[in-house]
Amino acid sequence: MNCFQDRDLDYRIIRSRRRTADIVIERDGSIVVRAPHHVDDAGVAQLVDARRYWIHRSLAEWREANASRVTRDYRSGESFPYLGRNYRLSLVADQPEPLLLKNGRFLLRRGLLTGDSPHAARNAFRHFYQHRGEPRLAQRVAHHAPLVGVRPGTVTVRDLGFRWASCSPSGNLAFHWKCLMAPLTVIDYLVVHELCHFHHRDHSEDFWNEVDKVLPRYRERRAWLHRHGAGLDL
pLDDT digits (tens, 9 = 90+) for 82-113: 999 999 999 999 888 999 999 999 999 998 98
Helix (H) or strand (E) holding 12: strand 9-16
The predicted-structure confidence for 186-231, as pLDDT tens digits, reads as follows: 999 999 999 999 999 888 899 999 999 999 999 999 999 888 888 8
The predicted-structure confidence for 128-152, as pLDDT tens digits, reads as follows: 999 999 999 999 999 999 999 999 9
Cα 199 to Cα 17, 25, 36, 68, distances in angstroms = 14, 22, 16, 34
CA nearest neighbour of 75 among 114, 113, 123, 126: 113
Helix (H, G, I), strand (E, B) or coil at 129: helix
Least confidently predicted of 29-43, 61-75, 122-136, 176-190: 61-75
- Please, what's the largest Cα pairwise distance for the chain? 62
Share of residues in the chain with pLDDT > 90 (%): 57
Give, rounded to a whole angstrom, the gap between the first and last alpha carbons of the chain: 29
In the chain the domains, ranked by start, together with CATH numbers, are: 2-66 (no CATH), 118-231 (3.30.2010.10)
